[in-house]
Every structure is written in C-alpha cells, then in structure tokens.
Structure 1
C-alpha cells in the first residue's frame, strides 16, 4: 500500500528505534544472492535498497522480482544514481537531491527527466537531501557526481547544508561517505545532524564492521545502510541485527 515505506521510516525516527537497510548494487548481483536473501528472512532488516553509481546492466526490474520472491515482506526502495535506474515495480524511491554538490544535473536535472515516469506510477516518493561526505579516498560516487564531498571534520558546514535542504522542504537526509570509503561519516557530524535537523537521518558508506556501525547508531543515525560490507559477508547483517535486538531489549 502506498505510504507504507514513509510510515515505516517515520515510525523508526519518532520511536527512537533504529533501522537497517541492505543496499544491493544491480551490477554485483550473482547467483548467490537468493540464498543470501533467504538468510536474512528472520533478521532485523527493515528495507532493501537497490542502486549504484554506475549501472551497466538493464536488470533492475528483474532484480526487484527476484527479491520479492525471496523476501516478500521487505519493502524495496530505489536508491538511484541517475534517472535510468527508476523502476515503477519498487515500493518507494529516494528522490535524491545532491545538495552537498553544485552539479545542476543531480540537484534537479535528473529529477525533471524522471518526473513524468513517476507521475504515471504508484511508487512512493521520498524527497531526500543527499550529502556526500569525504570518506578518505575517491569513490565511484565522487567520480560519477563530479562534485567535491563535504569535509569529514566539519559538522557545522554539513548541518548548514542540510538546513538549507530542510527549509526547501526535503523530508529525509542521507549522509554518505561513498561505497568502499576508507572511513565512514564522522560520528560528530551524525550527532550534530541529529541534534539540529528534525527529520529521519540515513547514514551509509564505509560501514564495513560492527564497531563502525555501532558508532553510527549511537551518534544518532536512524537508519544505517550497508552495502559492500554485506556483499562480502552476510554475517555482518546478522551482527547488526543482534545489536539492534539488544538495544530493543534494553529499552523495554
């Protein structure tokens, strides 16, 4: 039903609970993915995100179908690198505006291209301010976006950028160090964002072990997005799920 993804995110945000999203890159999909999906059926995973900086195969719709067959209870959200990654078969779309950069194509250009397709679909649209943070090395998202990431030591600059997006009406915010980042988003930035921006906060990039993920949650991330870490070992999702369950037990 339309509105369920937004409602789920808002529930996580308002309740103070924590959410987990597994980001799957269509280019990295292999024959082992169905088995991996079956392994997470009983874990504390809230969303499946689909997307990547460079999609070399036209298989997003096929991937969505396969995910639904294996984990029909999990909402599928498109995390697009460009307008070509849109599929009306997903449950929701992160309508990303790269507010940390000055590339007009990723601020509004790609949005104009895909807007008529969205209008004809029944997909949920989640207006999201996307902030690229320097993760210590140049990643594919830096190259594809042709933008300079925000420094990882400047909470005030990141918050000021997010505030501008908030006042423009964006309802969700995504801090991303980029896929394969050497370092994740600085917990000080996450903490400052949580304190100053009254909106759900998603954090991803460079979160490849449980300690980094734990720090992101404790700093204030509402939803952590794991991509490469889960691709290398599904065990990481199990560790995060156990951590989230321990938080839930302690809070009751």
Structure 2
C-alpha cells in the first residue's frame, strides 16, 4: 500500500483525477477505469508526473451507495484511491486514504468542527490513511457546489496576503496538506501568483485544483510550487482529454 502523504511529500509532481460518484453510475466505473488509463499515460509523459491518485467524493451523496462505488473502483484499478469527502457520510474502508478536511476559508462551524466530530466515531478503528488537510475555497468566478452546501464564501484572489495567511494558519494548526480549490468547473483557476506565494510560505505539500483545463495551465501551476494538481471537470467531460 502506498504511504500517500510520504509519496506526495517526496515526489515533485503528483496528479489526482477527481471523480464525483453522483455523476458516474457504479455500472460504468469499470469502463471508466480502463479508458482513463490511456489519458493517464499521456499526462505522465507530457507533465512528467511521478504519482497518480483518484480523489473521490462530492458535495452531496444522496442517491449513491458510496461504499459500493469505491469498492468497484478499487477492483478495477491499481491507482491509490483517496476520499475527498463532502460530509462525514462519505467514508469507505475500500479506499486507501482520506483527506480529513478543515474548511478554513469559511467560518461555518459545521465544516470547521461538526462534520469532523461526526466522522471521528467511524474513524477510530479505520485502516484508512487519514491526512489532516487545510482546505481553502478560492473564488473561481462562479458559485460552486461547495459554496452552496457549506454556506461559506470563497476567498477573493485579489487579496493574496489573506490567502497566504489562511494557508500558513492551517499549517500552524497541524494540517499536513494545504488544498487551494477554485471549485468544480471554475472559470478562473487559482493564479500562479497565489500558488507561488503560498508555496513560499508553507513547508508542507500544496495541492491546487479547480478550473485547470490545459497542459499549459497545469505546467504553470506545478512550476509555481504545487506538489499536486487536481483535474476534474476536463476529464469528466472528455475521457480522452489530453490537455
């Protein structure tokens, strides 16, 4: 089993493909896992990516058997599966790891502590690798599902120092990853200036996602200091996406 945090920390470039189980029926997971392998091979060559992951989760999960969905994906891939949960109900022992999310860009106690407390009971005896993650929602030019569900506002990209302060505070609070997220289908990705300044301030791995649709954007994000880039909508819309 991959030591996820150690791998992200010790590799220069990791890439995660974000999948929302509510947008992919369990009966199509096997075909997706096979089809996306070609895309992964191309991205590895173009971007010199050292490690790939599947991030799985969504803002809601009302009509999906999350555990069965994760189990099906696990049976059809050797790529590590990391849960990126929208709530405490999105847990499965069939995954390899879990981002234990702290939505520090918002001030809603439901996502600062309540969801985490609800999850704690289920995680006491888990075999999942749990990684405390400071999650900062950044304004990507459109309202996102995270914003609607969490009832929190994103941080404006115009105030870089505020974003840097949030990221550094997240590190001081003991988080082991920082995740800058512009949101699914964002019009504007997190700027390379923000990525650079946050990367220069923290000494833990930096994840960046949302609105990244081209190889050039991803390359610039890596060069600015991201340890991991997350792609979601681009591959969701086109399984053969090549940047």
Q: TM-score, with normalisation over the residues of structure 2?
A: 0.90
Question: Is contact 1:26–1:57 with CA below 8 Å preserved after alignment?
Answer: no
How far off is 1:214 after superposition?
Answer: 2.2
- DSSP 3-state at the match of 1:95: strand
- 1:214 — aligned with what? 219
Return the match for 2:22 from 20, 23, 27: 27
| Matches of 1:63 and 1:11, distance apart in 2 | 30
CA deviation profile, 1:183-213 (whole Å, cap 9, x unmatched): 1111110010111110101111111222322
How far off is 1:116 after superposition?
Answer: 1.2
- DSSP 3-state at the match of 1:41: helix
Instruction: List structure 1 runs of 4+ shifted beyond 6 angstroms.
Output: none
- 2:34 — aligned with what? 38
The question of 1:10 aligning with 2:9 is answered yes
Question: Is contact 1:153–1:186 with CA below 8 Å preserved after alignment?
Answer: no
| Matches of 1:119 and 1:108, distance apart in 2 | 16
- 2:48 — aligned with what? none
| Matches of 1:226 and 1:60, distance apart in 2 | 21
- 2:47 — aligned with what? none
- 2:136 — aligned with what? 131
| Matches of 1:20 and 1:141, distance apart in 2 | 21
| Matches of 1:46 and 1:198, distance apart in 2 | 22
How far off is 1:135 after superposition?
Answer: 0.3
The question of 1:60 aligning with 2:66 is answered yes
CA RMSD, aligned part only? 1.6
- DSSP 3-state at the match of 2:37: coil
- 1:244 — aligned with what? none
User: 138-147 or 25-34, which moves further after superposition?
Assistant: 25-34
Any residues of structure 2 matched to 1:161-172 within 5 Å, and which?
161-172=166-177
| Matches of 1:179 and 1:127, distance apart in 2 | 21
Q: TM-score, with normalisation over the residues of structure 1?
A: 0.87
| Matches of 1:64 and 1:82, distance apart in 2 | 16
Consecutive unaligned residues of structure 2, counting only runs of 5 or more, are: 45-50
| Matches of 2:155 and 2:114, distance apart in 1 | 21
Return the match for 2:190 from 185, 188, 191: 185
Any residues of structure 2 matched to 1:138-153 within 5 Å, and which?
138-153=143-158
How far off is 1:41 after superposition?
Answer: 3.4
| Matches of 1:57 and 1:120, distance apart in 2 | 27
User: 57-66 or 99-108, which moves further after superposition?
Assistant: 57-66
